[in-house]
Structure 1
Amino acid sequence: MAAHRTAALVEELRRRIVDGEIAPGQKLPSESELIAAHDVSRTVVREAITRLRADGLVRTRRGAGSYALTPPADSEGAWPARPVRTVADRRALLELRTAVESEAAALAAERRSEADLAAMGDALARFAEVVGAPAAALEHDFAFHRAVAEASGNPFVLDLVDALGPTMIAMPRRRLEASADSATTDGTVRHEHAAVLAAITAGDARAADAAMRTHLVGSRRRLAGQ
């Protein structure tokens, strides 16, 4: 009976995270709230959270609760077929992104329109407004990278970014915590995005490539140090 209740709670929380009802970076209901809402024991709740952590759907902060992570994309009929769940998966994805998005930034510097620059600037400005709100920060972070891909003028690059979706944005622990570390990390990301935008605006392909590479290598470093 306990195993059945655990499985049911796992599926309910999984559905809410995948459907976006619990957004990336948002705190899950507390242990007490889950016990009351689902009429289950503390053991069932803890086992369910453990399974969701193993699936890469939540991260738990000692003394602060559990937070939703970006769910892996539905791989049925889509690319990439391999789900992005572990830190190793995210590191490998960042390696791919470094190769593709650095070239995309260089192309964007040569091909961008005023509308493209406006889209990148808007995403950067919105990102700056949501310090301490991980779910919103992730949304605007992805919007910036998508705008760069669109500005590249290469439809395959844009298709790739769209296929990956927001799951491509790494969310190390520091970006999920409402703390000085979180604000510092987001500030660093914002500064790196601004350098990419400045190079693209200037039409400097080499600088745009370097700025995007610096940003994504920094993302890999932040992920490794979480």
Structure 2
Amino acid sequence: MSSSFPLPTRRRPRTLALELVDSLGDRIRDGRIVPGDKLPTEAAIMEEFGVSRTVVREAISKLQASGLVETRHGIGTFVVGLGDGAAFRIAPEQIATLHDVIAVLELRIGLETEAAALAAARRTERNLAEMRSALDAFAAALAEGRDAVGPDFQFHQEVARATQNPHFAELMSTLGAMIIPRARLGAAEGVSEAQRSYLLRANAEHENIFDAISNRDSDAARAAMRTHLANSRERRRRAAVLSADQAGK
């Protein structure tokens, strides 16, 4: 299981519990913990996140209420799904084609450009540290020849959290890592040269977003996020045209 920053121990237990819900919920929604998996023990969660048993139990209770996990007495707590079936989400089968991916990117442009602008106005030093952690993990994945879907989603999630508006972060968590296009397309083992070139450009675009948010420049953050997502959309559109042309030959 991937590591995370310890939660600040001086915060109120309720705040800590909600942050723990976010962290565990993210792992479930982005596939690091899948339905059927058993959650770590209370003691393991306490040690990883630096929280009390009371905080862990409150967080587990909230995850149960949202339909993400169930506790089997004497056995442990298990992931049972992706949450309330009535909640808005984009299922894997809804991102099966290039057309589907482009539609999701259009949604993200509307959501995340304004999130970036708000993040620039409201971000904290801790928000910046979390974003920097995601960017460093992205760069490390590239250096090791791996894809970077997890760090990519983490960066966008941290931008949403930096708005200090929980609805942005909750919606991003609900969408999950499946909204990162290559989580569905081009999932071959390893990273090809073309993929690596794409990821290097994406990483540079992320750095532009980070710089604007760090400088508290809302207009620049909005523009940098729009450029990043619009570039991704255009790359997918070109791929769709190329695929159609090849099919017609």
Give the TM-score taking structure 2 as reference length: 0.58
Counterpart AA for 2:224 = A
Tell me what 1:4 maps to: none
1:149-192, Cα deviation, whole Å (9 max, x unpaired): 00011111111100000001011439876222121111001000
1:190 aligns with 2:199: no
Unaligned runs of 5+ in 1: 1-15, 22-72
Mapped partners of 2:132, 2:117: distance in 1: 17
Percentage of identical aligned residues: 37
SS of the residue 2:206 aligns to = helix
Task: Note the C-alpha offset of 1:74.
Answer: 7.8
In structure 1, the partner of 2:5 is none
CA contact (8 A) 2:90 2:175 kept: no
Distance 1:182 1:142 in 2: 17
Letter in 2 for 1:87: L
Q: Which residue of 1 aligns with 2:111?
A: 100
SS of residue paired to 2:149 = helix
CA contact (8 A) 1:110 1:203 kept: yes
Q: Counterpart of 1:128 in structure 2: which amino acid?
A: A
Structure 2 residue identity aligned to 1:168: I
* Number of residue equivalences: 158
Quote the residue 2:235 is aligned against.
Answer: 222
SS at match of 1:217: helix
Distance 2:230 2:85 in 1: 30
CA distance in 1, matches of 2:134, 2:32: 24
Alignment of structure 1 residues 104-143 onto 2, 5 Å = 104-131=115-142, 132-134=145-147, 137-143=148-154
Answer yes or no: is the 8 Å Cα contact 1:174–1:182 preserved in 2: no
**Could you tell me how far apart the structure 2 residues matched to 1:111 and 1:218 are?**
26
Relative to 1, partners in 2 of residues 1:87 and 1:18: Cα closer, same or farther, differing over 3 Å?
farther
What is the CA deviation profile of residues 83-123 of structure 1, one whole-angstrom value per residue up to 9, with x for unaligned ones?
33222121111101001100000000000000000000110
String of CA shifts for 1:29-73, please: whole Å, max 9, x gaps: xxxxxxxxxxxxxxxxxxxxxxxxxxxxxxxxxxxxxxxxxxxx7
Query: Residues 63-74 of structure 1: matches in 2 within 5 Å?
Result: none
Equivalent residues of 1:75, 1:81 under 8 A apart:
no
**1:179 maps to 2:188:** no
In the other structure, the counterpart of 1:77 is 86
5+ residue gaps, structure 2, are 1-30, 37-81, 240-249
Q: Structure 1's 176 and 215: CA in aligned 2 closer, same or farther, altered over 3 A? A: farther
- The residue type equivalent to 2:85 in the other structure is E
Q: Aligned partners of 2:165, 2:188: CA distance in 1, in Å?
A: 31
The answer for the alignment partner of 1:7 in structure 2 is none
Q: CA RMSD in A?
A: 2.6
Change (3 A) 1:143 1:101: same
Which residue of the partner structure matches residue 16 of structure 2? none
Spell out structure 1 runs of 4+ moving beyond 6 A.
none
For the residues of structure 1 that align with 2:214 and 2:125, how far apart are their CA atoms? 9
